[in-house]
Amino acid sequence: MRSNTVGWLMLAPTIAILGIFGILPFIYVLYVAFHQWNPFGANPDMVYNGANNFRRLVFDGEFLFSIGVTIKFAFFAVLSEIALGYLLAQLFMREFPGRGLFRTIHTLPLIVAPIVVGSVWRLMTTPSIGIIPYFLKSWFGYDLNIGRDAGAAFTLTVLMDIWHWTPLVTLTLLAALLSLPKEPFEQAQIDGANRWQIFWHITLPMIRPAILATVFIRLMDALRTVDEVWMLTSGGPGAATRYVGLHIWKIVFPKTDYGYGAAISVIVLYLTLVMCWLLYVALVAPRQKKQEAE
């Protein structure tokens, strides 16, 4: 094996950048999390208050509710995006006329800034005069009011997320599919495997790392969503779409409750980490063991 020093050198810039801009801020946030600090409180200074912020959030109904809807949101959005994204990636694997055009069309949503996506969806869904409620009403008699109907608002945020981010899944899975060797597939066809068998026994295991990476990215991005949802619903109606990113945003910006906001952020970071670690261990570890055994 070649010298590991070269390997470390290749990793060094990455570790340096992420160390400075990742670890240092995290240490600062962790420090703030153990303080009472609101610059507009009666005492504007940072006061050490032990684990009080963490104790408070365990009983904070609004926070817990927010975590609940966020997980629900992330689950539906990410699951649909993966399924739809995989389907599209498979379709793009074929040769057909106009493939380039379709591929461009299906990457368009990605280049629209989230704040604009939220605005467009908001105008499309303005009760009674947005294009969607208008046609739902005149064609199906269904009255869609995003300001009153919590379920509708939730569904719309999920649909918006799917619309905006499925292309990302398509592209990453397409890259993975493109780099697969053809041999196993040809062998399987010779052996008379059907489509489902090929997918289950060959494609899926081979692109599992790519799927996992995509799920991770989408999951953590969905957990951090702020701009789009803020523009579309502002977290309403009530708290129905007050996802945790938005919840933290409201605590840190308007309420300037830096101490508590830091504590919530640390916990959310920890929960995300645990969730991803579990997925990682469940999906990647067994495969690696199997490889080692071989």
166-225 residues near other proteins, rule: CB under 8 A: 167-168, 171-172, 174-176, 178-183, 185, 195, 198, 203, 206-207, 209-210, 213-214, 216-217, 220-221, 223-224
Near other proteins by CB under 8 A: residue from 58, 59, 108, 140: 108
How far is Cα 39 from Cα 46, in angstroms, rounded to an integer?
Answer: 8
Helices (H), 125-257: 131-135, 150-178, 183-190, 195-198, 204-224, 227-232, 244-252
Q: Coil, strand, or helix at residue 146?
A: coil
Site membership for other proteins, residue 128 (CB under 8 A): yes
230-249 residues near other proteins, rule: CB under 8 A: 231, 233-242, 244-245, 248-249
Q: Which position has the token pair 């899944």?
A: 169
Site membership for other proteins, residue 103 (CB under 8 A): yes
Running DSSP on this structure, what letter comes out for residue 48? Answer: E
Site string for other proteins, 50-79 (x = CB under 8 A): ------------x-----------------
Nearer to other proteins, 181 or 192 (CB): 181
- Is 221:230 a contact under the CB 8 Å cutoff? no
Q: Is the omega angle on the peptide bond into residue 237 within 30 degrees of 0, that is, cis?
A: yes
Site membership for other proteins, residue 28 (CB under 8 A): yes
Half-sphere exposure for 22 (CA within 13 Å, toward CB): 7
**Alpha-carbon distances of 257 from 35, 64, 88, rounded to whole Å:** 10, 18, 44
250-279 residues near other proteins, rule: CB under 8 A: 250-258, 261-262, 264-265, 268-269, 272-273, 276-277
Site membership for other proteins, residue 291 (CB under 8 A): no
Site string for other proteins, 134-173 (x = CB under 8 A): x----------xxxx-x------------x---xx--xx-
